[in-house]
Structure 1
């Protein structure tokens, strides 16, 4: 029997599903982050090699038993990026068919089952992607943590650091986020954030993880934290609006699936986003994903 592998390569972790060609998932595995732009080619190759090897050992299969690998990961929108990822996969020893695409595409397949709809992702980074019945597609966001990724965990974390700095300077009012974040990072005062951000080697995942402390400050009544979370929700609404309007999905019943730690687990961001959607797009149903992005990659491998 031939098998397929679907991979969702995220900024924080990678999910892999091994399935047969009848869409039955045989094994689910997990690895480290998978982004060639933030991690580099060698680190991604080493992670995928280990993940594939562990999968095959556990399933008692060889690479020759795998017919197709479909991988959706951030940072592979351009042909040159896809070529790098293709080279990485080939370097693992795999000789079968590959499908390489952005993680938003596999998330859409998983989230809405491959039909018309929209997927909004907000975890470490953020992106919105949609497709209509005419086969037209549109994406918004996903520019990376330096250029964009508004409404993401990184956006919330770096916004918190910015507000702490402004509070220290006397530009903004004091915030509970100062003590929560400094204690979490084991820093003595706000000025040590300079070393943390610029010299400690902290990556976007580490800064994105601070979003949970912003949520904690909000729950304790911190106004600055609430403003950051509401602004994040509004930014996620804006990228969703761009996709819905472009695909003419703004005045018809359609599904918008959400995925990612921020939009799923941060109650203030989620509730404010849903409020904005309900007010402006009453026909759009906001739902959790039907299946995850790794399963979406499986569907793409089988049907694509």
Structure 2
């Protein structure tokens, strides 16, 4: 297989599968979130390829998408079914069998403890041959790797349906902040922003809060005629992603000058920045003088540019006030590819090769 970058030919040679003795080898990377789950299949990169020479456009043989794989959100049976489905589809599209897989790294939301990791590892051991190396991480780790091309250093901030900050120091220490779900207060997430907007509409309707443009905007978007109908709409299916989808309405109202919507976004920026600062402080990523350089990988729909009210930009500005050495990074590859790069690095480390993590 060849991959071209700036006129240079990249060759990814076929390597013999140690489990079967024949055929090409592949690696799998999986990004499992609350909204969707993505699995990519890539050829096994030669150990001779140096980290700093990885091409921007990595060879992806196949890509598959499925639903939520967070067991806290949909339950263990549904989460397992989703993981098995998306892995099977990616392999089917690539034309490879499970025996051709050398390593797979899953970055899955809801993986918060060794117990969570072992649960998923048990699922995987039931479907993969013994020679396949299995690695399970929180989805934030895969997102960080997507911005650093597989090098685990710095901090990642994710804000989509949920939110989390996760970081690694050069010596391997790691730390996290937030990522505890809506009940325990991920207020900088899409769910948190939208839930506060819905609350503001209800308060305005019954006289407990000021009037807001959010009322007409959200009712129009949902096709409802009265705030009273929000009760039925919310509880008929209180899925996190469904509610988080209302974030664009909050941004639009804030851009139009609505003070309630603006405050919701300002509070979200503060919460997101605080989560990053907590990780930076615990890992001392900024160095002893506070001016050290480190990457902050920005991932998730909430952090994407939204016209004039750019939540991601405001978060970075808030962080730079305290940590001027922070370097914001927008990933060139998706988290699922970051997970595949982690699988490659972990595999090279076990084999004593050129691990870049």
Secondary structure of residue in 2 paired with 1:12: coil
Post-superposition Cα deviations, 1:218-251, rounded to whole Å, max 9, x if no partner, equal 2222111111111111100000010111111232
Q: Larger relative contact order (C-alpha < 8 A, sep ≥ 6)?
A: 1
Alignment partner of 2:167 out of 111, 120, 130: 130
Does the Cα contact within 8 Å between 2:41 and 2:91 map onto a contact in 1?
A: no
The answer on 1:297 being equivalent to 2:297 is no
Alignment partner of 1:65 out of 100, 105, 112: 100
- Aligned partners of 1:189 and 1:87: how far apart in 2? 48
Secondary structure of residue in 2 paired with 1:100: strand
User: RMSD of the TM alignment (CA)?
Assistant: 1.6
1:84 is displaced (CA, Å) by 2.4
- Give the TM-score, by structure 2 length: 0.80
Q: Which structure features the higher share of helix residues?
A: 1
Alignment partner of 1:108 out of 124, 144, 149: 144
Aligned positions of 1:1-304 closer than 5 A: 1-22=24-45, 24-91=59-126, 93-95=127-129, 96-113=132-149, 114-198=151-235, 200-250=236-286, 251=290, 252-266=292-306, 267-304=309-346
Does the Cα contact within 8 Å between 2:143 and 2:334 map onto a contact in 1?
A: yes
Query: Which ranges of structure 1 fall in alignment gaps of 5 or more residues?
Result: none
1:40 is displaced (CA, Å) by 1.2
Flag the 1:68–1:90 CA change in 2: closer, same or farther, 3 A: same
1:82 is displaced (CA, Å) by 1.8
Does the Cα contact within 8 Å between 1:106 and 1:294 map onto a contact in 2?
A: yes
Does the Cα contact within 8 Å between 1:41 and 1:84 map onto a contact in 2?
A: no
1:90 is displaced (CA, Å) by 3.8
Does the Cα contact within 8 Å between 1:111 and 1:291 map onto a contact in 2?
A: yes
- Aligned partners of 1:153 and 1:167: how far apart in 2? 21
- Aligned partners of 1:275 and 1:74: how far apart in 2? 27
Secondary structure of residue in 2 paired with 1:30: strand
- Give the TM-score, by structure 1 length: 0.94
- Aligned partners of 1:107 and 1:220: how far apart in 2? 33
Q: Quick check: 132-141 or 23-32, which moved more?
A: 23-32
In our comparison, the structure showing a higher alpha carbon Rg is 2
Q: Quick check: 118-127 or 132-141, which moved more?
A: 132-141
Count of aligned residue pairs for this structure pair? 302
- Aligned partners of 1:185 and 1:257: how far apart in 2? 33
